[in-house]
A and B are shown apart, each in its own frame.
Chain A
Amino acid sequence: MTNELARLSVRSLPDVFAARRLGRELAAGLGLEHQDQVRVATALSEVSRSAVSLGQTAAITFAADENSLVLSVAVDGTPPADGIAAAARLMDVVAADEQVIRMSKRRPLHSTPDFPALTERLAAMLPESTLDELRRNNQDLIAALEDVTRQKEQLAALNAELQETNRGVMALYGELSEELEQTNRGVVALYRELDEKSEQLRAAAESKNRFWANISHELRSPLNSIIGLARLLADPDGGLDAEQSYQVELIRGAAATLLTMVNDLLDVAKAESGRYVVNPTEVGLPALLATLRGLMRPVTDGKPVEVVICAEDAPPTLLTDEMALTAILRNLLSNAVKYTDSGEVRVTARTLPGRVELQVSDTGTGIPAQEIERVFEEFYQVPGARRGGTGLGLPYARRLARLLGGELTLASDAGRGTTAVLSLPLKPAAEVSGVSA
């Protein structure tokens, strides 16, 4: 029984090499000794090379029967004589008929070859034919092509998605910019409106000031007439009896109060309209304070109120507008005295870096916290606490303080007293302009 293990077709010289290796492996697998392996390989080499050199194709069958290694070489032509002669020297039996050369070599009987494994080993050594290789290459190529096509499709899908996103973004962008433009237009319109409003406000403030100034001015002349005539009437030689004199004196007093109010109004209008010209001079602060104290004495009007001046810490001189400073302090002091029934009104002067701080504190009725800022409004007076006056003093004082480059603030504890703080620069700023509103 012949056991066929491999087939090989020899067409060219590299195939001869493969035939040699296959023969050697077959011999080794069948347990032939080394020298015989070389003989078998060499015999195959001789036969197949001589066939190839004649331009023939040799189909070699590698096989084994019970006691031999069997090789049969089928050629498509006359079997090559020299190859057969060489092989005959190396193999045990070599027989050639028309187109087939059969060769055999005895194999050791005690060996039990693993035929399936040997078949597998031989198959692995078979050279790949060009056609097979081409087919395999082709398959690889097709796979690669499919891969590329798939990738291309993916790319196209991705691109489409991207385009979609892009459109979305563009739409969003358009929407946003339109919205922005609208808002912008709104802001511009608002701005214009604001501009108009502030222009109107300015005009209104101006006409108010003009009105005040005119009215005050117009009122002053008749008031002066009234005061002058009242004084003439009250003359002791005027022939009035005591009762009449007293009444005339009342008229005069009322007119004088009215005149003060008119003057105040005029002052505020002047300061506000920016027509007040600051005129800085060297002001001796202690002297000024002493004068003020003297001025205030009659105003205490018999109340148990003492006016105390603490000017130890004050700078000797201050470069500022004396009239304005005096007006501010007089306002503050008269307010303090007016709203204090008993206790003291203390004026403290302190030097701070670059500034001087003047405090006027009293032990009077005080101002409720929610009214603190409102008392700086013109004509405003704390409800239920009216003690005469026009409600113009504090606004006027603050306006003057700002004209001098300073600030006027109030701190108060209702029922315990009020402290007004006037803070002024030691020197006026380079340019103090009359600021209105």
Chain B
Amino acid sequence: MERVPILKIGRTLFVSIQIELQDDTVVRLQEDLADELSATGARGVVIDITAVEIVDSFIGRMLSMIGSISRLFDAETVIVGMRPAVAITLTELGLSLNGVRTALNAEKGLELLNGKA
């Protein structure tokens, strides 16, 4: 099973997903992020999904859940770099990513978090 690395930049955790997401990878990422948040006390999470081409309802729900869990650690989650096809598909599926904010790219995402702080 592949693992997604989590980088700490200042008070923000940065996750760049460079692989096609499988269910267990996402579950693992959710657990890892929760551990990392509790350990570091980070205030924000940026998840870059530029390389992800398919987000189905399960993966969408999991991303949404990551946002909810982060909030319990007093951290905000921003999903950045979503591809148009992914956005359209999510919309067609009727999924809205509750609990997470989105930004066009990583830079904008970090700005969003810093603006809040």
A interface vs B, CB < 8 Å?
Answer: 13-14, 16-17, 20-21, 24, 34-35, 37-39, 41-42, 45-46, 49, 86, 89-90
Chain B, 20-67, CB within 8 A of any chain A CB = 20, 22-24, 53-58
Chain B residues within 8 Å of A20, by CB: 54, 56
Dominant SS among interface residues on chain A: helix
Q: Count of B residues near A, CB < 8 Å?
A: 18
Q: Is the interface of B mostly helix, strand, loop or mixed?
A: helix
Q: Is the CB of B56 within 8 A of A42?
A: yes
Interface: B85 (CB within 8 A): yes
Are the CB atoms of B54 and A41 closer together than 8 Å? yes
Does B88 sit within 8 A of A, measured CB to CB? yes
Most buried by B among A17, A20, A38: A38
Which of chain B's residues have a CB closer than 8 A to the CB of A39? 89, 92
Report yes or no: A34 in contact with B85, Cβ–Cβ below 8 A.
yes
Does B85 contact A38, Cβ atoms closer than 8 Å? Answer: yes
User: Which of chain A's residues have a CB closer than 8 A to the CB of B22?
Assistant: 13-14, 17
Q: Does chain A have a CB within 8 A of B86?
A: yes
Q: Which of B23, B56, B85, B88 is A46 in contact with, Cβ under 8 Å?
A: B56
Q: Are A89 and B92 in contact (CB under 8 A)?
A: yes
- Specify which chain A residues have a CB less than 8 angstroms from the CB of B56 in the assembled complex: 20, 42, 45-46, 49, 86
B94 within 8 A of A: yes
Q: Are A35 and B85 in contact, with the CB atoms below 8 A?
A: yes
B17 to chain A, nearest CB (A): 14
**B2 → chain A closest CB, angstroms:** 11
In whole angstroms, what is the CA distance A221 to B94 when docked? 163
Contacts of B57 in A (CB 8 A): 46, 86
- The smallest C-beta distance from A100 to any residue of chain B, in angstroms, reads 21
Tell whether, in the assembled complex, residue A90 and residue B23 are in contact, meaning their CB atoms are under 8 Å apart: no
B53 close to A38 (CB less than 8 A): yes
- Shortest C-beta distance, B50 to chain A (Å), equals 15
